[in-house]
Amino acid sequence: MAERQVKVTTDVGLHARPAAVFVQSAAQSSEDVTLAKFDPAAESQNRVNAKSILAVLGLDVRNGDEVIIASEDAEAVDRLAALVTEETS
């Protein structure tokens, strides 16, 4: 399983339109994709389905938060990490 922990650097985090773009990109993968808002105090991270707009919005990811993106599809993980960190491929 591919997994990346990245710091969200987009101005508004994953709210409204950026969350929709993120979910649409995740949905392109035939594999399951999960997203978690990193919490160093938690024993385990609350992973949600990255293909669900409600689940992604429910994480309340903001600029500066760290997230964990995981999937068997390494290309999807890289693509999604680039979306939230404004990296260019």
Backbone angles phi, psi at 83, to 5 degrees: -65, -40
Q: Residue 59 and residue 15: Cα distance in Å, rounded?
A: 10
Q: 68 pairs with which residues across the strands?
A: 5, 36
Considering the candidates 4, 15, 47, 62, report the single residue annotated as catalytic: 15
Active site residue 15: yes
With tokens 């995740």, the residue in question is 26
Catalytic residues: 15
